Amino acid sequence: MLRTLYSKIAVTLAVLVVLLGVLFFMLVRSSFEMQRLVVEQELNEPLAQNLVKEYFSRGGRPFTEADHAVFDVMMRINPGIEVYRLDEAGRIVSFSAPEGRVVRERVDLGPIRAFLARSAPYPLAGDDPRNLSRQRVFSVAPIGGDGGQTGFLYVILGAEREDSLMASLSVNQAFRTAVLIMAAGVALALLTGFVAFRLFTVRLERLAAVMERFRASGFTEHVPWHSRARAGREDEIDALGRTYNHLAEHALQQLERLRAGDAARRDLIANVSHDLRTPLASLRGYLDTLLLKGDALSEPERARYLEVAARQSERLGNLVSQLFELARLDAPDAQLEREPFMIEELVQDVLQQFALAARDKGVTVAMEVAGDSGFVRADIALIERVLVNLVDNALRHTPGGGTVGVTVRHAAGRVEVEVADSGEGIAADALPHVFERLFTTDRTRGPGRGAGLGLAIVKRVVELHGGTVSVRSEPGRGSRFAFELEAAAAGGPRDEIVISA
């Protein structure tokens, strides 16, 4: 019954309203009862004095059994009173009541004196001779004798009245009307509260249903929450709905990235397996040939076989080295040891490494500096790796007679390095993918084409430095790879920065 939010709120509201209604009823009843007592005591204020004048004015009779007859007459005339005669000390000396009904022997004179002196506001209650724990409103008057005051005539008002709700309702029309109005108010408050809370919780139910559909779909189908509130009138429920929309969209994006990453990992494993299998098979084939036919081979054949095996071994080692290097750069604790250095000197050193290979292939390599020379702040070893990969990539794709040029530009606190070649170029549909791991423009992956990890390493290193890398190319007109680094003052401090992936 109380499984829904609305039912819990409705029951709570009902209990609170009923409790408040009971409290209000008690307050109203107490107020009406107090007002009734005030009115009753004010109206009957001279009652005791009149009775004294009527029955005790002739010399103030002594305490006799005749008082009982007088009291009986008084109470028959007004059944709503009880009459007691007290001495000067407040002791009850005479009354008219069945045996055992009067349980007090004495009445406190404090309220009596306050009544006679008019020193206390009404209702003023005095001791009830018939009940040790209750007090009642009264009227009192002194009884005087020939020698002075001989006691008091003590009249209890409203004697034998039932102190019950039904008696109050039947006697007091105003109180009955007030109770009816209060009951109507409680009912109206409950109805209004139920309707208002329903309007609130129905929106939460809609949001919960939308979220449940998202969960039931395995968090793959986003059912958006649509707010029906006007602009500027949204509340916390609308904010919760918007947050759900953002979380669901983010979750779907993350799921899509995970799927793409999983597909990329499968492709990586497949491609790496292919690239490792080819040199391994070639290496094993030549080595097996040397083992089986070593004595039958001539020295030139043996040297050629060993050269091919060494070349395949080198290719295999380069591929494994690139895989480990890329894994190290992708690690969360990848570190950069930044220091200022002359980028032009590093470019010159890298070009010297490829001078012999370029001369053997008939390719011209050159460096150009646009603007004044300057320092950059970066990890010199990783930037050298970037330059080596880009220059090597340019040489491999540039035929004899072509050129490979490296241009360094300094501007506005940044340094741009561009590696350009006059080689075969890259097709337009392949440009967005050249920095992907194991991507190569040669789908056959022929010998010497590489495993497609060099440019992925370039992109990762530049990103770790907070820079960007770009490529421009046209088939048959060569390619241009460029990246940016932060410029630095000469001789600046060396620092180590931990990069979290």
What does the pLDDT read at residue 500? 33
Residues 324 and 361 both lie in one domain:
no
Are both 286 and 368 inside the same structural domain? Answer: no
Please write the tens of the pLDDT for every residue from 300-352.
887 887 888 887 787 777 777 767 766 766 666 667 788 899 989 999 999 99
Asked whether residue 326 falls in the same domain as residue 340, the answer is no
Within a domain: 209: no
Q: Is the pLDDT of residue 92 over 70?
A: yes
C-alpha–C-alpha distance, residues 181 and 175, integer Å = 10
Return the percentage of the chain with pLDDT > 90, whole number.
17
Count of domains observed in the chain: 3
Peptide bond preceding 300 in cis form (omega within 30 of 0): no
The reply to whether 185 falls in a domain is no
Last residue of a domain, one of 330, 349, 372: 330
The domain of 414 spans: 334-498
Are 343 and 485 members of one domain? yes
Q: Write out pLDDT tens, residues 237-269.
A: 888 888 989 999 998 888 888 887 777 677 666
Which range (4-8, 73-77, 163-167, 496-500) has the least confidence?
496-500
Q: Based on the fold, state whether residues 154 and 16 are members of the same structural domain.
A: yes
Contact by Cβ (8 Å): 312, 285: no
The verdict on 344 and 481 lying in the same domain is yes
Q: 439-473 b/e with 16+ CB inside 10 Å = b?
A: bbbeeebeeeebbbbbbbbbbbbbebbebebebeb
CB 2 within 8 A of CB 8: yes
Q: 481 pLDDT band (50/70/90 cuts)?
A: very high
Co-location of 137 and 248 in the same domain: no
Give the model's pLDDT for residue 171.
52
Same domain (yes/no): 480, 345: yes
Q: d(Cα 61, Cα 143) in Å, to the nearest integer?
A: 9
- If asked whether residues 359 and 413 sit together in one domain, one would say yes
**What pLDDT was estimated at residue 443?**
43
* One domain, residues 306 and 320: yes
Q: Pick the closest to residue 338 from 495, 199, 467 (CA basis).
A: 495
Strand 403-411 versus strand 364-370 pairing type: parallel
More confident residue, 389 or 448: 389
Q: What is the pLDDT of residues 201-213, one digit of tens each?
A: 888 888 888 888 8
| Residue 243 Cα distances to 200, 225, 233, 239, 307, angstroms | 18, 10, 17, 6, 64
Could you read off the pLDDT of 396-444 as tens digits, one per residue?
889 999 999 999 988 878 899 999 999 888 888 888 888 876 666 554 4
Checking if the pLDDT of 492 tops 60, the result is no
Flag whether 183 is in a domain.
no
Q: How confident is the model at residue 2 (pLDDT cuts 50, 70, 90)?
A: low
Indicate the helix (H) or strand (E) that contains 148.
strand 148-157
Mean pLDDT value of segment 379-397:
90
DSSP states along 174-189: HHHHHHHHHHHHHHHH
Query: Are 13 and 159 members of one domain?
Result: yes
| pTM score, whole prediction | 0.45
pLDDT in tens, 120-178: 898 999 999 999 988 999 999 998 765 556 789 999 987 655 444 444 544 567 777 77
| First-to-final CA distance of the chain | 51
Does one domain contain both 320 and 362? no
pLDDT at residue 333 in the model:
62
As a whole number of angstroms, the distance between CA 83 and CA 75 comes to: 7
What pLDDT sits at residue 287?
82
Counted residue by residue, the chain has a size of 501
The two tokens of residue 295 are 């004595």
Structure tokens at 332: 């969360």
Residue in the structure block whose two tokens are 């003052």: 489
